[in-house]
Structure 1
Amino acid sequence: MRSLVLIGHGSHLNPESSAAVYAYADLLRQRGLFDEVVEGYWKEEPSLRQVLKTVRYTDVTVIPMFISEGYFTETVIPRELGLGHQGPVPPQGVARVIGGRTVRYTLPYGVHPRMSEVILARAREAYPAINADDTALIVLGHGTTRNENSSKIVHQNAERLREGGEFAEVHTFFLDQEPKVVGWRQQVKAKNVVLVPFFASEGWHTLETIPEDIGLTGEVTVFESDLEAEPGSQPDYAQTVYYSKPVGTHPAIAEVIIQLAEDAHGASAQGDVERGHQEAWNALLQLASDTLRLGEVIVRPVEGMFELRHALDEGKANEGLRTVVTPEGVGEQVRLDERGEYRPVHTLRSLARGWRAVLCERDLPRALHLLYPAVVEESYAHHHHALRCTPWAATARRQTGIYAKVQKATPQQVESVSNDVCGGCLKTRLWAGEALHQTFFSGVPGGIPCAEACTLLVAEMREEVTGKRGQGAVAAHD
Structure 2
Amino acid sequence: MRSLVLIGHGSHLNGESASAVYRYAELIRERGLYDEVIEGYWKEDPSLRQVLKTTASTDVTVIPMFISEGYFTETVIPRELGLGHQGPVPPGGVARVLGGRTVRYTLPYGVHPAMTDVIVERAREALPDFSAADTALIVLGHGTTRNENSNRVIYHNAQTLRESGQFAEVHALFLDEDPKVGTWPEVVRAARVVVVPFFASEGWHTLETIPEDMDLSGPVTVFAENPHGPQTVYYAKPVGTHRAVADVILHLAEEASGASTEDGDPDHAHTAAWATVMERARQGLRLGEVLITCQSGVFEIRHALDEGMPGHELQTLVTPEGVRDATRRDEGGHHRPVHTLRNLPRGWRAVLNEADLKRAIHYLYPAVVEETYAHTCHVLRHTPWPTTARRQTGIYAKVQKATPAQVEAVAEDVCGGCLRTRLWAGRKLPHTFFDGVPGGIPCAEACTFLVAEVREEVSGKRGGGHTHNH
Shared topology, TM-score over 0.5?
yes
Give the aligned partner of residue 153 of structure 1: 153
- 1:451 corresponds, among 430, 444, 460, to 444
Q: Which whole-Å deviations, capped at 9, do the CAs of 1:353-385 have from their partners, x for residues lacking one?
A: 111111111111111010111011111111222
Give the aligned partner of residue 38 of structure 1: 38
- Offset at residue 47 of structure 1 (A): 0.7
Q: Which whole-Å deviations, capped at 9, do the CAs of 1:372-403 have from their partners, x for residues lacking one?
A: 11011111111222111111211111111122
Match of 1:256, as an amino acid?
Answer: V
**Separation in structure 1 between the aligned mates of residue 209 and residue 443 of structure 2, nearest angstrom:** 35
User: Residues 139 and 197 of structure 1 are in contact (CA less than 8 Å); yes or no, is this contact kept in structure 2?
Assistant: yes
Give the aligned partner of residue 195 of structure 2: 195
Give the aligned partner of residue 253 of structure 2: 261
- Offset at residue 425 of structure 1 (A): 1.5
Give the aligned partner of residue 359 of structure 1: 352
Farther-moved stretch of structure 1 (159-168 vs 201-210): 201-210
**Separation in structure 2 between the aligned mates of residue 416 and residue 243 of structure 1, nearest angstrom:** 49
Give the aligned partner of residue 228 of structure 1: none
Aligned positions of 1:327-476 closer than 5 A: 327-469=320-462
Give the aligned partner of residue 87 of structure 1: 87
Give the aligned partner of residue 171 of structure 2: 171
Match of 1:153, as an amino acid?
Answer: V
Within the alignment, does 1:29 sit opposite 2:29 as a pair?
Answer: yes
- Offset at residue 209 of structure 1 (A): 3.1
User: Residues 17 and 202 of structure 1 are in contact (CA less than 8 Å); yes or no, is this contact kept in structure 2?
Assistant: no
- Offset at residue 470 of structure 1 (A): 5.3
Within the alignment, does 1:295 sit opposite 2:288 as a pair?
Answer: yes
- Offset at residue 177 of structure 1 (A): 2.2
- 2:243 corresponds, among 233, 236, 251, to 251
**Separation in structure 2 between the aligned mates of residue 215 and residue 19 of structure 1, nearest angstrom:** 28
Q: Which whole-Å deviations, capped at 9, do the CAs of 1:228-274 have from their partners, x for residues lacking one?
A: xxxxxx61644333221111111111111111111112245441110
**Separation in structure 2 between the aligned mates of residue 422 and residue 224 of structure 1, nearest angstrom:** 58
Give the aligned partner of residue 4 of structure 1: 4
Aligned positions of 1:51-66 closer than 5 A: 51-66=51-66
TM-score by length of 1: 0.93
Match of 1:273, as an amino acid?
Answer: P
**Separation in structure 1 between the aligned mates of residue 215 and residue 453 of structure 2, nearest angstrom:** 32
What is the SS of the residue equivalent to 1:44?
Answer: coil
**Separation in structure 2 between the aligned mates of residue 34 and residue 286 of structure 1, nearest angstrom:** 26
Give the aligned partner of residue 297 of structure 2: 304
- Offset at residue 191 of structure 1 (A): 3.2
What is the SS of the residue equivalent to 1:289?
Answer: helix
Within the alignment, does 1:323 sit opposite 2:302 as a pair?
Answer: no
User: Residues 144 and 177 of structure 1 are in contact (CA less than 8 Å); yes or no, is this contact kept in structure 2?
Assistant: yes
Q: 1:322 to 1:172 in 2, by over 3 A?
A: same
**Separation in structure 2 between the aligned mates of residue 24 and residue 324 of structure 1, nearest angstrom:** 21
**Separation in structure 2 between the aligned mates of residue 126 and residue 344 of structure 1, nearest angstrom:** 35
- 1:275 corresponds, among 268, 274, 297, to 268
User: Residues 273 and 370 of structure 2 are in contact (CA less than 8 Å); yes or no, is this contact kept in structure 1?
Assistant: yes
Match of 2:25, as an amino acid?
Answer: A
Give the aligned partner of residue 136 of structure 2: 136
**Separation in structure 2 between the aligned mates of residue 432 and residue 208 of structure 1, nearest angstrom:** 43
- Offset at residue 223 of structure 1 (A): 4.3
**Separation in structure 1 between the aligned mates of residue 339 and residue 296 of structure 2, nearest angstrom:** 28
Moved over 6 A (4+): none
**Separation in structure 2 between the aligned mates of residue 209 and residue 389 of structure 1, nearest angstrom:** 43
Give the aligned partner of residue 211 of structure 1: 211
Match of 1:194, as an amino acid?
Answer: V
Q: Which runs of 5+ in 1 are unaligned?
A: 226-233
What is the SS of the residue equivalent to 2:248?
Answer: helix
Q: 1:470 to 1:249 in 2, by over 3 A?
A: farther
- Offset at residue 295 of structure 1 (A): 0.6
What is the percent sequence identity of the aligned residues? 71
Q: Which whole-Å deviations, capped at 9, do the CAs of 1:49-107 have from their partners, x for residues lacking one?
A: 10000000000011111111111111111101000011111112111000110001111
- Offset at residue 219 of structure 1 (A): 2.3
What is the SS of the residue equivalent to 1:300?
Answer: strand
Farther-moved stretch of structure 1 (299-308 vs 143-152): 143-152
**Separation in structure 1 between the aligned mates of residue 184 and residue 400 of structure 2, nearest angstrom:** 40
User: Residues 186 and 228 of structure 2 are in contact (CA less than 8 Å); yes or no, is this contact kept in structure 1?
Assistant: no
Q: Give the aligned length.
A: 464
